[in-house]
Structure 1
Amino acid sequence: MDASLRRFSIFYFCYYAALGAYTPYVGRWVDALGHGGYVVGGMLGLWYGTRIVAPPAWAALTSRSDKPGNWFVAGCGLTLLCFSAFLFTGSAWALLAVMAVFGLFYNAVMPQFEAMTLTALGPRADLYGRLRVWGSIGFLIVAGTYGALLDRVGAEHFAWVTLPLFVLLLAAAWPHRHDRQVEHAPTAADAGHLWKRPGVRRFLLVALLMQASFGPFYVFYTLHLQAAGHSGATVGGLWALGVLIEIAMFWKAPKLIARFGASRLLMVCLAVTVLRWIVTALYAESLPIMALAQATHALSFATFYACCMRLMADFFPGRRAGAGQSLFFGFSQGVGGVLGAGLAAVAWERSGGELAFLAGAAVAALAWLLYALRRQSVAAAAP
């Protein structure tokens, strides 16, 4: 790898390493502090909610500056400062308040960094994957080991053992303080009339429902497996397995899409996701079955995401791509993430992990039905 680009791969590694601690284990920490499912769900709901407002708000600030690199470093510094506040909070309202501010900065800096990366690559955009894969590696290492670490030190110390990762995040951001101005990042508001393009609304609704079906997984998967008797090390291994398969599948997905078509593969991914959540709900005690369920992450996440990106290229070609991507991520990952976290919290409080994952399966089944009806209407309209 070009030495001038190594600092980009280092930041991706540090950013997603911190995320590898936060996403899988924040629920275990909140549970260890004595809070219930609603607080756990609220923490993740705020995480996804800030994804809707943080990137465009931060883009509006950085676009007015002739030194965006300084804003980027400041954003990472504020992320560290806000996370540090978790060391001194214990009540539910304090946790949620800190989460809201922390999420605003943590979710704001990555879209800016993505733009900085593409600006630095210029005509060498094909190298992006080689830089971004280090983020997946960072997530894999931390998510795969933090379960055992929390077994050893106690889940209540999660904030203390995670803080060094955010220190490294700030250190990795420092070399980018002089990076040059990036173009304005399109927001969902820039998409405007694109919402009315044929097929877009149904596609976005399917993507939203798919993201919502992942709510129980992102919020309660660790707690669900621990309730079934698995150790923290085992849970970490299962998280790592899913990420490993995700990385491998991203390399294979383009060939599969070229052979079978994105629309057809999307149907398969939705169907597999329904089965995945049913199995996770009913057979959590079986490690081999849970490993097999995690292996389906290759379809329910990696291939599904690759198919969405291929369809996005059809819906929003050329200069419309940026606004389309903003619309897609704000609607699916933002709104869908919030709804999924809320659904998971309600189901968990009522009847635990089994009901939560069955609810996720029902949402994924609804997404499959909506997309199947879309394909049938297209076929019926064909001459």
Structure 2
Amino acid sequence: MIPASIPSPAGRAPPYFRLRSALSYCAPLIVNGIALPFFPVWLATLNFTDHEIGIILAVPMVVRVLVAPVVALFADRMKERAYVLLWSGGLSLLTAIALFWANDFTTVLLVYALQGATYAPYLPVVESITISGVRRWGIDYGSTRVWGSIAFIVSTLIGGQLIGAFGGSMVPPLMVVGFVLTTLMALYCPRIGPTRRRGHPLDIKAPPIGNALRNPQLLLTMIGVSIQQASHALFYTFASIYWHHIGFSGTQVGVLWSAGVTAEVTVFFLSKRLGRRFSAWTLMRFGAAMCVCRWIIFPMDLGFSGHFVLQCFHAFTYACVHLGVQRRIVATVQETQEASAQGVYFFYNGMCLGLATIASGYIYAWLGVAGFYTMALLAAVGLGMIITAFYLQPQSSGNGGKTLESA
């Protein structure tokens, strides 16, 4: 559970804040539910090499991390952060339409990189609006964020059925539909005004730290989590291609992706209970350790049922870690830096994932599925940094010098 501020009796949340925030998560994750598992399949239908697929998928990630923090910084200073979503969704829709006329490496790379730039701020800004609701009105983060994951599952299952029936050429039309929804939801996303300069104190053991974006512990935590998350790069890029190669149908591939997100949804539904029982540090360390195990097991001959079970590890390798790092951000930064903090985290996450994705094209071409052992090593590095960050936090003399596992 992300710590929430005590709701102010003088201020109330906008009408249907939780519903509108949940739908705002749904729209971009519908796009991700098509692009993440199936865009590599579409690229393979264009006869691109593994190296080219890796580059096409990685360049937009690098572009996103350069654009998102800058836009997030401006969003913190705007009268209404939700305005960013409208132009982000609209311009991204235009790039999705342009993909219909892109069929060579250079054109696809340029159009998809441009889409990375226009789409970059959408999810971080939605995240910052929702977390402002957590701070101001005690909105439960997990039960709001979970609907985005459910939308991912539904779009992946539908996409798997359509791509299984009509082939990879269905990917661009499905992405256009998704971007239409993101543009529409930008109109209905909650309007909550500018970030507050004098927010309510957070219900945590340690007060938020001034100038927190320079806090070494928070920065090391975000970098460590980003490296751990980057270990998913080979999976995101080549899992669908690998599963098709070993004989799984489009529907089975959709089911496997949905299994992982279903496990993720379960964690978000249980976020309050997990928050009471486990600290943010415990969630991050456990999730990163499970990530190491996941990539060691992946190359084994598992069959469909084995891969289905292994996909459920996503509950730990992504959802637990994500909840943990968001709790640390909320516990450390003021609301006036909320979008900026999300932008910084997005920068680290995207840069690490982008570099790992570029490397994945070469690793998969060289090692094939055995390349997942290198991802296990990367996850172990991230785990080490998270553990180091934990020991950087200040000790509390009021607790006999014991380190606090706050938030």
The TM-score by the shorter chain falls in which range? 0.7 to 0.9
* Partner residue in 1 for 2:30: 17
What aligned pairs does 1:227-242 form with structure 2 within 5 A after superposition?
A: 227-242=245-260
| Aligned-residue offset at 1:133 | 2.7
Residue aligned with 1:282, SS: coil
Q: Find out whether 1:133 has 2:138 as its counterpart.
A: no
Query: Does structure 1 retain, via aligned residues, the 8 Å contact 2:22–2:148?
Result: yes
Q: Find out whether 1:155 has 2:155 as its counterpart.
A: no
* Partner residue in 2 for 1:188: none
2-structure distance, mates of 1:245, 1:278: 20
Superposition RMSD on alpha carbons, in Å?
3.4
Query: Pick from 370, 380, 391: which aligns with 1:365?
Result: 380
* Partner residue in 2 for 1:106: 119
Structure 1, unmatched stretches of 5+, are 186-190
| Aligned-residue offset at 1:173 | 2.8
1-structure distance, mates of 2:26, 2:380: 35
Query: Does structure 2 retain, via aligned residues, the 8 Å contact 1:75–1:106?
Result: yes
| Aligned-residue offset at 1:339 | 1.9
1-structure distance, mates of 2:313, 2:183: 35
Paired residue type of 2:88: G
TM score, norm. by length of structure 2:
0.79
Query: Pick from 349, 363, 371: which aligns with 1:356?
Result: 371
| Aligned-residue offset at 1:203 | 2.6
* Partner residue in 1 for 2:60: 47
Residue aligned with 2:248, SS: coil
* Partner residue in 2 for 1:296: 313
2-structure distance, mates of 1:227, 1:367: 30
Residue aligned with 1:230, SS: coil
Distance 1:140-1:3 versus aligned 2 partners, 3 A rule: farther
Distance 1:111-1:371 versus aligned 2 partners, 3 A rule: closer
Q: Find out whether 1:31 has 2:44 as its counterpart.
A: yes
TM score, norm. by length of structure 1:
0.83
More helix by share: 1
1-structure distance, mates of 2:80, 2:223: 38
* Partner residue in 2 for 1:271: 289
Query: Does structure 2 retain, via aligned residues, the 8 Å contact 1:118–1:125?
Result: no
Paired residue type of 2:379: A
Distance 1:14-1:197 versus aligned 2 partners, 3 A rule: closer
Q: Find out whether 1:56 has 2:56 as its counterpart.
A: no
| Residue correspondences, number | 371
Q: List per-residue Cα deviations over 1:270-306 (Å, max 9, x = no partner).
A: 22111111211223x5112111111111211111222
Query: Does structure 1 retain, via aligned residues, the 8 Å contact 2:34–2:175?
Result: yes
Paired residue type of 1:346: Y
Query: Does structure 2 retain, via aligned residues, the 8 Å contact 1:116–1:182?
Result: no
| Aligned-residue offset at 1:213 | 0.6
| Aligned-residue offset at 1:78 | 1.1
Structure 2, unmatched stretches of 5+, are 1-12, 198-208, 394-400
1-structure distance, mates of 2:392, 2:68: 36
- Greater displacement, 166-175 / 230-239: 166-175
1-structure distance, mates of 2:47, 2:164: 17
Q: Find out whether 1:249 has 2:274 as its counterpart.
A: no
Q: List per-residue Cα deviations over 1:213-255 (Å, max 9, x = no partner).
A: 1111211111121112111111110111111111111233453
1-structure distance, mates of 2:146, 2:285: 27
- Greater displacement, 229-238 / 13-22: 13-22
Q: Find out whether 1:336 has 2:348 as its counterpart.
A: no
Paired residue type of 2:62: G
